[in-house]
Copies of this chain bind each other. A is one copy, B any other.
Amino acid sequence: MTTLAQVASKAGVTAATVSNVLRGRGKVGAETRERVLAAVRELKYRPNLTARALAEGRPATIALIVSSIANPFYPEFALAVERAVRKLGYFLLVCNTNDDPAQEKAYLDAVGGSLAHGVLVMNADFVQIDELVQLRERGVPVVLCMWEKPDQPPPLPSVAVDFYRAGIMAAEHLIALGHRRIGAVVGSERSGNHIWRYRGFVDALAKAGIAHGEGDVIFGHDTIDEGRSAAHTLLAGVPDLTALFVSNDLPALGVLQAAAEMGLAVPADLSVIGITDIQLAHQVRPALTTVAVPTEESAVVAVEMIMRMIDGDEELTPLRETAPPKLVVRASTGLVGRGR
């Protein structure tokens, strides 16, 4: 492994000078610079980022904590974060806790122990907030991504996405298509992360004077399989439903499959709408109508915030909003009653 010192001696200068030419700092004679550059090339020198990090007091990485990389949304978000982070010269350390608190603690200790300069946390619901707050107190910049609880002020700097509004928009779309008997599949516990999406849906229904009772909703988990089974039991119990609101795209995909299995044509017999707009949503058939959420923007804003924190910006806005969600109409929703 080639070191700065080796390059320096080869170029007949000192390490400081090499460092200067490499980083464009300070004044270096044109001729010296050439000699140094030549030595660098010849020795195939690559700066040791660990040493640099130690000397500068800041690692070259930002960590992204996700609860499960298996959910396709996370890779998509991670990708966006990575782009933003790379643009600023950092590397992304993707930390998959797998919903395991021990794993999560290991990661937080490690990144807090300065493997990473800052920590982005996805899906704060599954994460032990206390640990994060402690991390923050130890001076590590932390930001929560995709905060979706408008009623609770986040315990840490966060970027918010208006999922409540997304719920409303989904409902309004269904209502506009003439649906009056609309069921809901929620991809989280009753008190879980998706609750505000459901509230938005419910409020929009109420506003339109449409009935929606306890029997019209099922709470579960954020997976395709759960979406499918939820749809099965829901539709078996309440067969007159003409549309289903699903709080996330992944379970919505499951709902689509359930419909197919039950012989229901989508959207003729049943309309289905999701939230998020993951890639699979348009890759599936029928393509899923959904309310797209500003993934890219969230990532960019989150990275921006963490950089601000790193730079010690004191008047940091603790909660940044992103652009409102957008309805994306595809093939899984249609006018009510066409199939009957």
A residues contacting B by CB (< 8 A) are: 1, 44, 46-51, 53-54, 59-61, 69-70, 72, 74-76, 78-79, 82, 86, 91-96, 98, 103, 106-107, 109-110, 112-115, 134, 138-139, 224-225, 228, 253-254, 257, 260-261, 279-280, 283-285
Please determine whether B279 and A70 come into contact, CB atoms closer than 8 angstroms. yes
Interface centre among A50, A103, A138, A257, by most B CB within 10 Å? Answer: A50
Please determine whether B283 and A225 come into contact, CB atoms closer than 8 angstroms. yes
Closest B-chain residue to A52, C-beta based? B113
Interface centre among A94, A134, A139, by most B CB within 10 Å? Answer: A94
Q: List the B side residues contacting A283 at CB < 8 Å.
A: 224-225, 253-254, 257
Cα distance A72–B112 in the bound complex, in angstroms:
30
Q: List the B side residues contacting A61 at CB < 8 Å.
A: 93, 115
Cα distance A253–B280 in the bound complex, in angstroms:
11
Residue from B49, B98, B109, B228 in contact with A46 in the complex, judged by beta carbons closer than 8 Å: B109
Given A1-B138, A46-B109, A61-B115: A75 in contact with B82 (beta carbons within 8 A): no
Query: How many copies make up the complex?
Result: 2
Please determine whether B112 and A46 come into contact, CB atoms closer than 8 angstroms. yes
Cα distance A44–B108 in the bound complex, in angstroms:
13
Q: List the B side residues contacting A257 at CB < 8 Å.
A: 283-285
Please determine whether A106 and B86 come into contact, CB atoms closer than 8 angstroms. yes
Q: List the B side residues contacting A253 at CB < 8 Å.
A: 283
List 11 additional A-B contacts (Cβ < 8 Å) besides A50-B115, A51-B54, A261-B285: A44-B138, A46-B112, A48-B113, A49-B110, A49-B114, A50-B114, A54-B54, A79-B98, A91-B95, A91-B110, A92-B94
Please determine whether A79 and B86 come into contact, CB atoms closer than 8 angstroms. no
Q: List the B side residues contacting A114 at CB < 8 Å.
A: 1, 48-51
Cα distance A79–B99 in the bound complex, in angstroms:
13
Please determine whether B70 and A76 come into contact, CB atoms closer than 8 angstroms. yes
Please determine whether A79 and B93 come into contact, CB atoms closer than 8 angstroms. no
Q: List the B side residues contacting A82 at CB < 8 Å.
A: 96
Please determine whether B138 and A115 come into contact, CB atoms closer than 8 angstroms. no
Cα distance A60–B279 in the bound complex, in angstroms:
33
Instruction: Offer 18 A-B interface pairs, CB within 8 angstroms, sorted by A.
Output: A1-B139, A44-B134, A44-B138, A47-B113, A48-B113, A50-B54, A50-B115, A61-B115, A69-B79, A74-B75, A75-B75, A78-B96, A79-B96, A91-B115, A253-B283, A254-B283, A257-B284, A261-B285
Residue from B47, B72, B75, B113 in contact with A49 in the complex, judged by beta carbons closer than 8 Å: B113
Q: List the B side residues contacting A92 at CB < 8 Å.
A: 94
How distant is A112 from chain B, measured CB to nearest CB, in Å? 5
Q: List the B side residues contacting A115 at CB < 8 Å.
A: 49-50, 60-61, 91
Q: List the B side residues contacting A134 at CB < 8 Å.
A: 44
How distant is A105 from chain B, measured CB to nearest CB, in Å? 11
Residue from B93, B96, B98, B228 in contact with A93 in the complex, judged by beta carbons closer than 8 Å: B93
How distant is A86 from chain B, measured CB to nearest CB, in Å? 7
Interface centre among A109, A110, A254, A260, by most B CB within 10 Å? Answer: A110
Closest B-chain residue to A66, C-beta based? B75
